[in-house]
Structures are given as structure tokens and as C-alpha cells.
A and B are shown apart, each in its own frame.
Chain A
Amino acid sequence: MQQKVLTFLGRRRNWTIPYVLFLAFFVLVPMVLIVFYAFTNAEGAFTFANIQKFWIHPEAMNTFLYSVVVALITTFLCILIGYPAAYILSKMEARKAKLLVILFILPMWINFLIRTLATVALFDFFKIPLGKGALIFGMVYNFLPFMIYPIYNILQKTDQNLIEAAQDLGANPRQVFLKTVFPLSIPGITSGVIMVFMPVISTFAIAELLTINNIKLFGTTLQENIYNGTWNYGAALSLVMLLLIGITALLNGEGSSRAAEEGNLI
């Protein structure tokens, strides 16, 4: 008996089993529960009412669409601001660049609620009104490092021979960038988009703080429903989010797992 247990443990592939069980119980079952709650009413009977409510109820739908727009703008600005930064960093001497990358990531270590409250204080100090502009600024501020890091990572790994080849073949610096460097860095941008877009839609608390409770994003709607005990409707809204994640993950294919690996930055 003991011998059997030992041989079983000796096969190292069996060491995956505890984690598989753990994932099944704490990741898979909970996600199935979201689907279950989304399609049942408070008594546990099957219903489409929760999903219908999302389509009919303009408030949740509007918040959702608004959040998608905010997330799109934030993602776009992060690329616009982050790409040049990542490019400059990738051109620097490795040691110096590494130090600067750390400096870009470091603010993440301060609790984001405190950072957001400090941003509010900063706006107050410069007499900048809180509202939509402040919201976008706060979002870009919070998520910019998540864009810079993956782009920097991929630019830094770009094969220098390809760039030299382009130069040898007579491309001017602009062409080298547009035809060689930029296309090669697109996977980095994809990773960045995954790490910025979805989290922005689902943040809550940041929007309220930066707009004095005037604007709320989808994350807040989810949280309110769970807090007010309307779990089934909350689950239906979560399902909408889950589908959106599924679609982005599918669209990005390989990019998603790369993004996950680069989540290592924090």
C-alpha cells in the first residue's frame, strides 16, 4: 500500500493533481455558478428574466456602453503615450533602462485607492474640476505602466539584424520604423490592450472618487447589485463581462497568454 502511494507520488506529472482540483473548485465551479445564478430567479427556478432585464433596463446598458467608451479612450491614450516611452526605453543602455522601467512600475506599490485620492487632491490643488476629464486622466495614470511594460519588453527583444537588414536595403528611418519595428511590436501592444481594456471597464471606486459620484462604471453596477442582494441580476451582468473577456481572449489568441505572463510586472 505504502509502496503504491510512493510510486504514485514519484510520477511527477501526478503533482499537477492538487492544483487541478484547486482550480476546479475555486475557478471553474465559481464561474459555473455565475452562469447558474444568471439563469435562475431568487427561488432557483430557470428564467431568462435577468438577461432580458439587462437589454431592457437602460441604466445598466448605458453604464456598460459608457464604460466600454471610457475603456477605449483610456486604452488608446495609453498606447499613444506609452508607445513612445517604451520605444525610448528600448533604445537606452540596458542598465539605465531597467532602472527607469522599475521607476515606471513602482507607483503600483501604493494602494490604488490612496493614489486616486492623492490625484483628487492634486486636481484640487491646481483648481482642475473633477469630472470626465479627471476620470480619463486618473484611468490613464493608473494603467499606463501596464501598457509601457509589455511594449518595452517586445521592442527590447526585437532582432537588431532585421533592423539593419532594412537599413541595408535602403529604408529611411521612418520606413524602418513603420515597416519593421512597429509591425514586430504589435504583440506587445496586444498584451497591453488586454491588461488595460478589461480592467478599466470593471474598475469600481476610481470613477466615483474622480467624478464626485457623478459617473459610475460597469464595475460599480456589478458591485451594487451584489451588495443589494440582487445576486441573480448581478450574476447576469457578470456573465456579460465574462463573454466580453472570452471574445477579447479569442480575438487575441496567443496574445492573451503572453499578456498573462507579463502580468508578472507588478
Chain B
Amino acid sequence: MIKRILSTSYLGILLVMLYAPILIIIIFSFTEAKVLGNWTGFSLKLYTSIFQGGIHHSLTSALYNTLIIGLIAAAASTVLGTIAAIGIYNLTPKSQKVMQMVNTIPILNPDIITAISLFLLFVSLSISQGYTTVILAHITFCTPYVVLSVLPRLRRMNPNLYEAALDLGATPFLAVRRILLPELKPGMISGFILAFTLSIDDFVVTLFTIGNEGLETLSTYIYADARRGGLTPELRPLSAIIFISVLVLLLVINQRAAKKKL
């Protein structure tokens, strides 16, 4: 009994510590003060001002860029990663091992190495940096994760189904569409979500591949802000909204998964 109380409170303390800074952001999103940590009375002004254009235009356009880049990069890496996973699954065991090893290189590389190496690539080829280079860079570090989430689905599925479809006269493309894709869908969806979150959370790779044409994503915007010494107050409600939506989404998914199992 005592053991249980002790262990529960240990987890409790850790969670409180982990969430304290986030709580601070959420609490101080309800006040107008410029500096995080000053309380100047309850107000919803920051929440309304995110959705107004004008002064905070640069913040909204950074948010917009982040979402667009995230969606394109996630979609592209899902397609590329799924095709690659199907290919890898059909290789000989030896080549499969090699491919899986190569696939982990981008994951094991710290983001600054990925960032610098891609920066050098774009500079050497004198490709001007901007939207395209950021998206390409994001596809580079997202695709391995898609491969990793699709491959287990392939391993779990009955390999004879696809052959059976072919024997029954389906063209390979029909067989892929009707047999393979439905089986792979859950892996593709989790790969897509993972790629999207990796993309919107990325800072280092984006910073090195975004160029200096004034393009900003949320994270480079925050970085520039932090270097100037302050945080645009509107970032508080924005983070609060993002956090609460992800929390709700995850709890719903978890509940649904639990129900399915029962």
C-alpha cells in the first residue's frame, strides 16, 4: 500500500515538473502583459488578436507557412515512404538489412548535422533557398519514420493475399490498390501524423534551409523573437490552443482504441 502511494506520487511529482512550464504559458495566456510572468489582470485580448490580421500579420503568416510545409512534407514522405517500404519488404533478407540500416542514418543524425549537410548541398548546387528547400529537407528527415511505421504492417499481413489477387487476374496496380493499401492504411496514417508533427516541431533544419528571403515558420519566428529578448505575447494563447487540441485529440484516440479492444 505504502509502496503504491510512493510510486504514484513519484510519477505525480515528475508530471507536475514536466507540466509546470506549460501551465505557466496557459495561465499567462489570459493576461495582456508583454513579458511572460507579469500578471496584469484577466483578459482574453491575446486570444482575439491572434485571429485578427494587421499587426500580427507576420505571426499568422509564419503559422500558415508552418502548416503548409508540414502538410506537403508529410504527404510527400508518406507516399515516398510507403512505396519504399513495399519495395524493401520484397528485397532479399540481406538487402533488406542494408536498407534498414541506411534508413536509420537520417534518424540517428542529430538535426544540426542534417541541417548543415543539406545547407552545404543546396549551396554547392547554388539552389536558392526557400519554400522548396525547406520542404525537401523535411521530407528527408520524415520519410524514414514513415518507412518504419509502414514496414511492420507489411510483415504482419498475409503475403499470399496479394499473390492470390494476381492469380485471380488482377493487374498488379489493382492488387496494390485493393489488397495492399487497405492493409497498410493504419501504418500510413500514423506515419503521416508523425511526419507532420516532426515537421511543424522542427527548428534547426528549417533554420538552415529557409534562406534569407524573409520566409518564416513558427519556430524560426519564435527563435528570432527569443533572440530579441522577448516572446510575442500572442504566442502564449497560440501554444495553449495547440497544446489543448493535441491533448484532446490524443485522449479521444486513446479512448477509442481502448473501446475497440474491449
Q: Is the CB of B117 within 8 A of A118?
A: no
Q: Is the CB of A26 within 8 A of B243?
A: no
Which residues of chain B have C-beta atoms less than 8 A from A53's C-beta? none
Which residues of chain A have C-beta atoms less than 8 A from B111's C-beta? 199, 202
Given the complex of chains A and B, what is the CA–CA distance between A85 and B8 in angstroms?
A: 9
Using a CB-CB cutoff of 8 Å, which residues 178-228 of chain A contact chain B?
A: 194, 198-199, 201-202, 204-205, 209, 219, 222-223, 226
Given A114-B235, A260-B107, A108–B254 Cβ distance below 8 Å? no
- Is B246 an interface residue, CB under 8 A from the partner? yes
Neighbour of A144 across the interface among B18, B36, B117, CB < 8 A: B18
Given the complex of chains A and B, what is the CA–CA distance between A84 and B108 in angstroms?
A: 26
Given the complex of chains A and B, what is the CA–CA distance between A108 and B242 in angstroms?
A: 11
Neighbour of A223 across the interface among B103, B112, B246, B254, CB < 8 A: B112
Q: Is the CB of B14 within 8 A of A33?
A: no
- Is B44 an interface residue, CB under 8 A from the partner? no
**How many residue pairs between the two chains, A and B, have CB atoms under 8 Å in the bound complex?**
229
Q: 6 tightest A-B contacts by CB?
A: A16-B87, A15-B87, A30-B117, A19-B84, A118-B21, A202-B110
Neighbour of B84 across the interface among A15, A29, A259, CB < 8 A: A15
- Is B101 an interface residue, CB under 8 A from the partner? yes
Q: Is the CB of A18 within 8 A of B148?
A: no
> What residues make up the interface of A, taking CB atoms closer than 8 Å to B?
6, 9-20, 22-23, 26-27, 29-31, 33-34, 37, 81, 84-85, 88-89, 91, 95, 98-100, 102-104, 106-115, 117-119, 121-122, 124-125, 141, 144-145, 194, 198-199, 201-202, 204-205, 209, 219, 222-223, 226, 231, 234-235, 238, 241-242, 245, 249, 256-257, 259-261, 263-264, 266
- Is B67 an interface residue, CB under 8 A from the partner? no
Neighbour of A114 across the interface among B108, B120, B239, CB < 8 A: B239
Neighbour of B246 across the interface among A15, A106, A115, CB < 8 A: A106
Q: List 26 A-B contacts (CB under 8 A).
A: A9-B172, A18-B84, A19-B81, A26-B139, A27-B117, A29-B121, A30-B117, A34-B113, A88-B11, A95-B258, A102-B251, A110-B25, A111-B218, A111-B222, A117-B36, A117-B231, A118-B25, A219-B110, A222-B116, A226-B119, A234-B116, A242-B113, A245-B109, A260-B104, A263-B148, A264-B148
Q: Is the CB of B242 within 8 A of A201?
A: no
Given the complex of chains A and B, what is the CA–CA distance between A68 and B221 in angstroms?
A: 29
Given the complex of chains A and B, what is the CA–CA distance between A201 and B147 in angstroms?
A: 27
Given the complex of chains A and B, what is the CA–CA distance between A194 and B102 in angstroms?
A: 17
User: CB-defined interface of B173-210 with A at 8 Å, one 1/0 digit per residue?
Assistant: 00000000000000000000010011001011001100
Shortest beta-carbon distance, A264 to chain B, in Å?
6
Which residues of chain B have C-beta atoms less than 8 A from A219's C-beta? 110, 112, 204
